[in-house]
Amino acid sequence: MERGSDKHGPRMDEALAHEVEGLLHAGRDTHAEEWASPEPSGEDQPDVDRAPHGTLHGAVPDGMTEEDVEQRSRLATYLGKEVWPATGAQLVAVARARQAPDDVVAQLSYLHEGRSYVNMQEAWADLQGGVEQHRS
């Protein structure tokens, strides 16, 4: 059975992993106190980077604009993941039940009432939103 470290016990391994967890997930230092932050690379050492062989680009998929991403995300916030698959009428009903703003309900009302949508991307495409271009 491999624990990940020969020098520490499992409890110390977990404590060390927890210490850098924020840095790994957020991509930036998350400690409020400077003394708690990990030390930077030395002068003769390479810089630590989340993407060592390139630069991370982000947040806006090809084929969509920032507004598309924000609007689709806003709609998804009021619909949730558990609603799919659903018809246009069901999506409007869910949005109303979750007290979505009038503009969100109005936008969803443009969906075809009887058509079944498998996921948010399919509904978003029917609302004439930008569609992600998948790399091949």
CA dist 52 and 46 (Å) reads: 10
CA dist 88 and 84 (Å) reads: 11
Q: Is 35 within the bounds of a domain?
A: yes
Let me know whether 94 and 118 are in one domain.
yes
Let me know whether 93 and 121 are in one domain.
yes
Which pair of tokens denotes residue 36?
Answer: 């708690």
Let me know whether 1 and 32 are in one domain.
yes
Q: Is 131 within the bounds of a domain?
A: no
pTM above 0.85, yes or no: no
Q: Is 72 within the bounds of a domain?
A: yes
- Exposed, middle or buried, 61 (CB in 10 Å: 0-12/13-18/19+)? middle
Domain that holds residue 73: 66-126
The predicted-structure confidence for 84-100, as pLDDT tens digits, reads as follows 999 999 999 999 999 99
Instruction: State yes or no: cis peptide before 52, omega within 30 of 0.
Output: no
The predicted-structure confidence for 51-87, as pLDDT tens digits, reads as follows 666 665 666 777 778 888 888 889 999 999 999 999 9
Predicted local confidence at residue 130, as pLDDT: 62
Q: How many domains does the chain have?
A: 2
Which pair of tokens denotes residue 24?
Answer: 């790994």
